[in-house]
Chain A
Amino acid sequence: MSQIWLIPAFPLLGFLLNGFLGKFFGTRFVSFVGPMSIGLAFLQSVVLFFEMLKTEGHRIIENLYTWMAAGSFQVNISFQVDELSGLYLLIITGVGFLIHVYSIGYMKGESGYYRFFAYLNLFVFFMLILVLGDSFLLMFVGWEGVGLCSYLLIGYYFEKHSAAEACKKAFLFNRVGDFGVLSAVLLIFLSIGSLEFNTVNAQAAAQFEYGGVLVTVITLLLFLGATGKSAQIPLYVWLPDAMEGPTPVSALIHAATMVTAGLYMVARLSHLFMLAPVTMNVIAVVGTVTALLAATIAITQTDIKRVLAYSTVSQLGYMFLAMGVGAFTAGIFHVMTHAFFKALLFLGSGSVIHAMHHEQDMMRMGALRKKLPITYLTMMAGTLAIAGIPFFSGFFSKDEILWKAFSSPLGGGVFWALGFLTAGLTSFYMFRMMYLTFHGNSRVDSHLQSHLHESPWSMTGPLMILAVLSIFGGFFGVPHALHFLPNGMELYFHDFFAKLPGEAHGSVDTEIMLMILSVVLALFGWFWARRMYSGSLEAARRLSASWRTLYDLSLNKWYVDEIYQALIVTPGRLLSTHLLWQAFDKNVIDRSVNGSGVISRGAGGLIRGLQDGVMQTYALIFAIGTLTVIWYIF
């Protein structure tokens, strides 16, 4: 018996214990239960992962009970472990466990310690439901649940105004996406009559015409949901603000797991998406543009977490680019390596912030290398990975994506060129972050200087494990062109995703050449960052002064928030205030409510004369009733 249900059951139990008892049993109890529940879930995931590999067809489905049944429509609560969800399980519980352990040290002494772990456990529970569910409805439960936990955790410091605003923003932007998902689910149900992924994937080709309007609309709506959850244009703006949450939250939810839910959905429904070439193109374009836009913003940010946030948006853009050109395997591969190195970078930045007593501005850091050696070394590994320096994990996954963007029948040179440019920018802003934080002259406040210290073991331990994964994680998917190892990811996902229509073009030589080009660009970005930021910042200042306009655009995030404010929020508020509230609500709704009150009171006033308190009147009415009944019966 496979016992899939145990995997989400452990985090749920952890949530219940921490949420209801954590307050009374204290910190030690919470620090034990919180990570332990995820650890157990991880062990069970490993067991099931190998069991799944042994199973015929690589798929285990466990039906718990029938959730609802009406006519031919039936939804079960059933969990499914296959190649995709198996991999996600390992990422969620594995990285999640490390982040939970890290949080013990990071959150030490915070008020509401038990609340934090309860939310974190609940988040893992919902995320597991999301990837384990075998139908749209169960996935949607998880989808909404992670949104809720994201909201709760971003707003963890709810007494801070900016945090409260940020969590509201995240929630609202996600609602826009949820609308898309829900509409798409309804359309799929209407056209296929089932909500199970396997049925939908199997019947998609038979039910929908290739490139038809309906399938295009459905996939576009689903992609709208994905842009909300996975922070893509046009709904990405919540993610940078989400950095108001505690750093482990950023690492777990906003880098490693939740934001990849959109990609999970696209990958899960690859057969459906493959039927809509228009949507695929939209996904590729949106992914590319998001990647580039976020990278251009990241190069000027000075808040260490915001750099990482825009970097996350940018990397997610890469993954969507991969999805859009039909390279699902490469996209999921990047999800995995990104989970390693981005969780590492966030946790590392958390370690820095912890040491700096919650200072996040890189302009007040510098020369921390000596004080935080472990943090420095591990973050360097993460940076090398994300920048695409050869043989670190990011190199393999990113070059796989760039190559697929170039060679796939759905891709093209433009996608490659923009992705290539983004890769250079990524290398630049990541090394800029490293140099500003760890090298150069110290700009740390003098009274902080003496308090600087390396973080405790509970924090550096996960950093080191993640660093190892970031360095070696790429060897699971070595590109064919290098062929010193078989491409593990392709073997693993063999026949899982939909086939591409048409043949790939481009030769091995081209692939090698493009790879060398991107490595050269990454090294160039590194070199440039070193030149500008390793010593005094004079050169950087002069450069930004001479490109004032562009610098301002980037620093102010292309004024996207302001544009949204002007185009959507302000008109919406005017509409609500003047038309909906003053005109409709006050005149129609309020009046009808009051009117019904007046009517009932008037009617009562008419009839209450009957109830005069005189017993004989009641007796008379009673007699009338009796007569009526007798007359009616006989």
Chain B
Amino acid sequence: MIPLTHILILSALLFSIGVLGVMLRRNVIVIFMSIELMLNAVNLSFIGFARSLDSMTGVVFIFFIIVVAAAEAVVGLSIILAIYRTRKSLNIDDFNLLKW
């Protein structure tokens, strides 16, 4: 039996790496991958809690999260495609029009 604490700390670590990825990387697609990483870290903690609480809710939730993640990936990637067509770049620093 894996202790809950271990799972949660692994989850927190993966999540933090995902956060760092969002803040440090400049390639939009890699930033997007980091977001997926964060989603997975959350999934892991869901499963951990579900197991230690003898509940199925967490497992069903992951099912939904994965569907949402798939939808999000599809829409997000198509947005990236659309942006790439106009700006010919994947560098996040080039997408800074939304400001004062």
Contacts and interface: CB of A to CB of B under 8 A. Distances in A.
Quick check: do A and B touch in the complex, using CB within 8 A?
yes
A613 B19 CA distance: 19
B92 A615 contact: yes
B97 A613 contact: yes
Contacts of B24: 616
A226 B99 CA distance: 63
B99 A613 contact: yes
A614 B23 contact: no
Contact of B19 (A611, A612, A623): A623
B80 interface: no
Contacts of A615: 92, 95
A612 B99 contact: yes
Interface string B55-77: 00000000000000000000000
B96 A620 contact: no
A612 B23 contact: no
Interface string B20-44: 0011100000000000000000000
B54 interface: no
Contacts, number: 26
B22 A616 contact: yes
A620 B22 CA distance: 9
A608 interface: yes
Contact of B23 (A611, A613, A619): A619
Looking at chain A's contact residues, the main secondary structure is helix
Nearest to A623: B19
B23 A620 contact: yes
Contacts of B19: 619, 623
A623 B100 contact: no
Contacts of A614: 92-93, 95-96
B54 to A, nearest CB: 26
A623 B23 contact: yes
B99 A616 contact: no
A338 B8 CA distance: 95
A620 B20 CA distance: 9
Contacts of B2: none
Contacts of A619: 19, 22-23
Interface string A613-634: 1111001100100000000000
B98 interface: yes
Contact of B98 (A608, A613, A623): A613
A614 B95 CA distance: 7
Given A623-B19, A623-B23, A616 B92 contact: yes
A575 to B, nearest CB: 46
A615 B92 CA distance: 7
Q: Which of A608, A612, A615, A619: most chain B Cβ within 10 A?
A: A615
A616 to B, nearest CB: 5
Interface string B76-100: 0000000000000000110111111
A613 B96 contact: yes
A611 B19 CA distance: 20
Nearest to B97: A613
Contacts of B92: 614-616
A440 to B, nearest CB: 85
Contacts of B22: 616, 619
Interface in A577-634: 608, 611-616, 619-620, 623
Given A614-B93, A615-B92, A608 B23 contact: no
Contact of A616 (B23, B97, B98, B100): B23
A604 to B, nearest CB: 9
Contacts of A608: 100
A613 B99 CA distance: 5
B12 to A, nearest CB: 11
Nearest to A604: B100
B99 A611 contact: yes
Sorted from nearest, which 3 A-B pairs have the closest CB atoms? A613-B99, A613-B96, A614-B96
Given A613-B95, A623-B19, A623-B23, 18 more contacts: A608-B100, A611-B99, A611-B100, A612-B96, A612-B99, A613-B96, A613-B97, A613-B98, A613-B99, A614-B92, A614-B93, A614-B95, A615-B95, A616-B22, A616-B92, A619-B19, A619-B23, A620-B23
18 contacts: A608-B100, A611-B99, A611-B100, A612-B96, A612-B99, A613-B95, A613-B97, A614-B93, A614-B96, A615-B92, A615-B95, A616-B22, A619-B19, A619-B22, A619-B23, A620-B23, A623-B19, A623-B23
